[in-house]
Copies of this chain bind each other. A is one copy, B any other.
Amino acid sequence: SAPQDLDLQILETVMGQLNASRIREDLRELSREPHLATSPRDEDLVQLLLQRWRDPESGLDSAEAPKYEVLLSFPSQEQPNLVHVVGPTGDIIYSCRQTEENLTGEQGGPDVVQPYAAYAPPGAPQGLLVYANRGSEEDFKELQTQGIKLEGTIALTRYGGVGRVAKAVNAAKHGVAGVLVYTDPADINDGLSSPSETFPNSWYLPPSGVERGSYYEYFGDPLTPYLPAIPSSFRLGLANVSGFPPIPTQPIGFQDARDLLCNLNGTLAPATWQGALGCSYRLGPGFRPDGDFPADSQVNVSVHNRLELRNSSNVLGIIRGAVEPGEPSCHSPRPRLLLCSGCHCHCILIQPCPHHPHPSCPAHLSLFSGSLPFFLWPDRYVLYGNHRDSWVHGAVDPSSGTAVLLELSRVLGTLLKKGTWRPRRSIVFASWGAEEFGLIGSTEFTEEFFNKLQERTVAYINVDISVFANATLRVQGTPPVQSVVFSATKEIRSPGPGDLSIYDNWIRYFNRSSPVYGLVPSLGSLGAGSDYAPFIHFLGISSMDLAYTYDRSKTSARIYPTYHTAFDTFDYVDKFLDPGFSSHQAVAQTAGSVILRLSDSFFLPLNISDYSETLHNFLQAAQQDLGALLEQHSISLGPLVTAVEKFDAEAAALGGRISTLQKGSPDPLQVRMLNDQLMLLERTFLNPRAFPEERYYSHVLWAPRTGSVATFPGLSNACSRARDTAPGSEAWAEVQRQLSIVVMALEGAAATLRPVADL
């Protein structure tokens, strides 16, 4: 890209000023107290963020904290959720812990919310216990195959495999009355489970630790789909809300799970169902006669969760893109002229003329106010966000991300307030509320400002948990963001040993062989794990999620072990996850560089041609794994092949036009037009009518794929459903419809990439 566009000196300054110690201090403050969504401490942090972003010396141009009225779910303080073993005479003979063990003095406070399954309905089912592995549909079918009567039982399941709510949904389909969920040490602790081996003695989850979480199936406020949850908005009646767990559900620690599971009766569970609790897992139903509980004992799950309408705040801070040529972005250290000093001052870049390398054609010129524009695009937004709410102290989730957010905004805010810098495009920082309940703050924001954001947003960058572990960068994103992340990470030193760039370190852990570039770090795709979901799936905005994460060769932990427990504290991060905070700093630098490149480059650093690889992978999978089947049903992939080829050709041609312009001195309006083509490409993949049953999911390339073939999700899912139906069925018609939807999207996308005045 043209050397004069992104100011490398500013970039260097920002990289140098992002400070690990400051991130550490911010994290200490952010995670000092539990800050569950809408709690007083959550609101204190809203004020902290506002204060930082309004600071006269290091703040942003403006900040505000709009609220939404949203439906959350909390356990009752008066009636805690309980899990008991009830003997044949009705006596309680065993009780699971109601809270986690107070190991560091931080697990005992009144603000530590009891472990619970948010949105699980109240109730007190009681029945024989069965073990249902991860609670997938296959798991319950296996139990059925084994002849186990599930009606009225309580199913003990372990985290992982399927989503939280799916366990309860699948269980209920088989007549199960209540669900328990625990984290098996095999899945999170590399098999370790004794107190001496776990936090605070290591990073592993203590025996009493319980993963909290939202058990809501969709995202956004449950009462206001597609409408912002402002007070006046229409709200669904509770009877019309779908997506909550159908039966009472409660998470427990593996210490309690061991007491239940190791006493089960019945057949030995399959090998893949075994875990690390130190006993052979049996399926039940009920306890074995020679165990700790009488054989007829049942398990009672008493859930007293309550739904409550609460006010949740987002905090939004903005650095306005430059509007006037006289603004700071103009003052970069390049030769310029001041014109017409008697009027307004204007500066203009002097570049070598491609035809006359030595300037030789001066013109005598009178210039007056306002006629020399720059490359200024305040109506283009770079969005950067993370949630603020935690389950307990949330040092890792989400405060490790929030600390990075604060440090980034401090460094950029300081340059801004000093008058050293102002971006070409506007930068919006967001601290989302109530993410833990289902990406609620971010989703409501996208609902409220749907059009404005869709029209103007260049990209959304999400940094939730900034450091899971300190081995390598991990990036999820849509193909166009690959190039900017690569550019950024090649220029930043990796925090680990050796003198590697983040990029060179990254490629050692996650890589793939690209037909275009050879071996490159591989990006993951975006599911719905954090606040990027509404941006990519509902709005079609190119998005990415950045974090530092594991060396998979050193641990098999499903996620960092204290995730969503009361043991996710500052000390945990400081001692085990990222001592010295160099990984936090690395993420801050990566994010900072990405932000600057997106906000300040003349040409948007989104390489849309990188979508071609995805399309070819999808196409190849369709051809190899579905081609024969489709042919049997007289469905041709030919139009899809043509559409992919058309996309390739137009994307490459557009790239060529940009390269040519970059060599010359492009006109700001030409750059703007091309940038609009780049920015809006992702939007062309959005079709709100493609998957009417999938709430919010409108992106025809990234909607959830339940079908087994790794191709276009609509096609894959439709084929899975049609596979066992007769030729000519409605399901096969839907396959054809989904194929046409993809072809239309790709043809439409290619059409937007053509020279703008062509038909």
Binding site for B on A (CB under 8 A): 61-62, 64, 226-228, 230, 232-234, 236-237, 240, 316, 318, 320-321, 323, 325, 337-343, 348-356, 359-379, 426, 428, 447-452, 455-456, 636, 638-639, 664-670, 672-673, 676-677, 680, 683-684, 688-689, 692, 733, 736-737, 739-741, 743-744, 747-749, 751-752, 756-759
Contact = CB atoms under 8 A, between A and B. Distances in A.
A236 B730 CA distance: 10
Contacts of A233: 740, 743-744
A646 to B, nearest CB: 12
Contacts of A64: 759
Contacts of A341: 361
A507 B668 CA distance: 44
Given A230-B639, A351-B368, A448-B747, 11 more contacts: A226-B689, A234-B737, A320-B757, A339-B365, A342-B355, A349-B371, A379-B677, A448-B744, A449-B751, A451-B748, A451-B752
Contacts of A638: 232
Contacts of A379: 673, 676-677, 756-757
B356 A368 contact: yes
A371 B451 contact: no
Contacts of A339: 363, 365
Contacts of A236: 733
Contact of A426 (B237, B359, B757): B757
A716 to B, nearest CB: 16
A676 B455 contact: yes
A439 to B, nearest CB: 19
A449 B748 contact: yes
A527 to B, nearest CB: 23
Contacts of A316: 759
A456 B756 contact: yes
A660 B17 CA distance: 41
A668 B669 contact: yes
Given A62-B759, A323-B757, A356 B343 contact: yes
A318 B343 CA distance: 41
A232 B740 contact: yes
A367 B356 CA distance: 11
25 contacts: A227-B737, A228-B744, A237-B733, A240-B733, A320-B757, A321-B757, A337-B363, A337-B365, A339-B363, A342-B355, A342-B361, A351-B368, A352-B368, A364-B364, A368-B665, A370-B667, A371-B667, A377-B669, A448-B751, A451-B749, A452-B748, A455-B683, A456-B756, A688-B689, A692-B692
Contacts of A234: 733, 736-737, 739-740
Contact of A448 (B62, B639, B748): B748
A329 to B, nearest CB: 13
Copies in the assembly, this chain: 2
A758 B61 CA distance: 10
Contacts of A230: 639
A736 B232 CA distance: 9
A232 B743 contact: yes
A353 B367 CA distance: 8
Contact of A378 (B325, B351, B372, B756): B756
Contacts of A428: 759
Top-5 shortest CB links A-B: A353-B368, A379-B756, A320-B757, A232-B639, A234-B740
Nearest to A642: B232
B362 A451 contact: no
Contacts of A684: 451-452
Contacts of A348: 365, 367, 371
A370 B664 contact: yes
A119 B240 CA distance: 40
A452 B752 contact: yes
Given A337-B365, A365-B363, A378-B757, A455 B752 contact: yes
B232 A636 contact: yes
Contact of A227 (B362, B449, B450, B744): B744
Given A673-B379, A751-B452, A350 B369 contact: no
B670 A323 contact: yes
B740 A227 contact: yes
B366 A361 contact: yes
A299 to B, nearest CB: 39
A571 to B, nearest CB: 37
A747 B448 CA distance: 8
Contacts of A740: 227, 232-234
Contacts of A666: 370
A749 B736 CA distance: 37
A236 B352 CA distance: 60
Contact of A672 (B342, B448, B639, B672): B672
Given A636-B232, A692-B692, A361 B373 contact: no
Which of the listed residues A337, A733, A740, A741 has the most CB atoms from chain B within 10 Å of its own CB?
A740
Contact of A362 (B366, B449, B670, B757): B366
Nearest to A232: B639
Nearest to A743: B232
A360 B342 contact: yes
Contact of A373 (B360, B373, B751): B373
B227 A373 contact: no
Nearest to A339: B363
A476 to B, nearest CB: 25
Contact of A369 (B353, B455, B749): B353
Contacts of A449: 748, 751
Nearest to A224: B740
Contact of A371 (B228, B351, B367): B351
A67 to B, nearest CB: 14
A710 to B, nearest CB: 23
A721 to B, nearest CB: 15
A647 to B, nearest CB: 13
Nearest to A752: B452
Contact of A683 (B451, B636, B677, B758): B451
Contacts of A673: 377-379
A450 B343 CA distance: 45
Contacts of A325: 667
A351 B321 CA distance: 27
A743 to B, nearest CB: 6
Contacts of A667: 325, 370-371, 373
Nearest to A741: B227
A680 B348 CA distance: 31
A683 B747 CA distance: 22
Nearest to A63: B759
